[in-house]
Structure 1
């Protein structure tokens, strides 16, 4: 999930082949609370921008463990409803359990590929996605399918990562990795976390898929890597166990992993704020468009 020092800002090959139906979904689930703490404010900013109202029907694309789905369900209650959609069966199971415990009666979940899924209750009024829209192999085809799930005049709201150079949390991690292994160059605009860093490209995708009135705002803030209050070492453990940087080092041998771990702990220590955690800069595009 990052880039090299070249101006193209694309993520390396090892870091874009992410199996969200399997391995990556399980990794996210294993550290669900820490991931949520890291990106929860971004979801809150996107929810505020969306401004959901009672009675609206919403798809939560890439719903993960269901935190945003629950928040949307509360916003559209009592007469609205939300469908949480994710490709990971493990995350959908966790989200369903979470919703059941909450007692919310206006939530349903579907485990499917959003690029091809057909929902019986479509079209919905709205679509929401916090970091669930950047991984499609055929983005125009996928967004065309999503366009068909939203009523004419309905709105989509997306959060996607901005340029890697503006996301220090990833740039510095990848800088450490590159000190220990070689990362091959990536294919421009490849599916992955930073696929839509280029707003011109994102605009082309949305336009070709039938969306109009694209509006984009930047969101910038410090993010707690490894969760709120994490020590530098805990943040390293989180990164290596749960993020793609750990996978890039996984088969490189104990000596390489140990050296990279110590170097990354030193980097994280420079950003550590007592009581808050390893606080590093992030930048996100908050995107809205009309179907």
Structure 2
């Protein structure tokens, strides 16, 4: 997840200075994705809500996708919100995390993973931000949430209610319990960032095995009204780190990540040197030849 580097300075969301990737490798001007954003509510008396998950997604797994579905069910039965969209926001290459694939590949993998979803989208905002030298620019989580607030509530004018009146959508972070654990550690997150993320916007947190959510929340009591904890009824510990380890060992990752992502990783030989006799799905590749055995950096 993106960390809470200080957000000092202007409150105006930064505009991307680069171009976003397209599946065919060409570059296109950045445009905020709205194709699955529901601009009119269907439920009376509910507050429109947009969920945003920031992360590496290197690669995206079924757990990342399940988090949205779990949150959707929780919100429907336990809150006065109506979910109008969910967004994946892959971090910038400036994050420099171990195992981080290039931003355009992570955006493309996420895009393939949500193709069949009726409400999930991928925003390349973080990955296309660059400085005056054209180098990737790190985007703190607080600025990411303000970006969504600006695009949806200022540029688009909010969401239309069932009464025909437009109102501001609530923007909220969706994350795993490990993120809240880090927020509770002294000095790791800037106080002003926590005020923005948890005080102004709020967060839906999915419990994970091995994390003490109560301990994490104990140091965030001032934000407890803006933090919703979602129980993970069916335990799922699939992680990008484990998937990368499988790939490095040339093991099958099918049914750990979506098939279109498996195919994309295979196609671009991501995360490990390609094996000329075996695809990432674990199925022998009878078409593989000498040209497939060249080391590929990724």
Q: Which has the larger radius of gyration?
A: 2
Q: Same fold (TM over 0.5)?
A: no
Q: By percentage of residues, which structure has more strand? A: 1
Instruction: Tell me the TM-score normalized by structure 1.
Output: 0.32
Instruction: Tell me the TM-score normalized by structure 2.
Output: 0.31
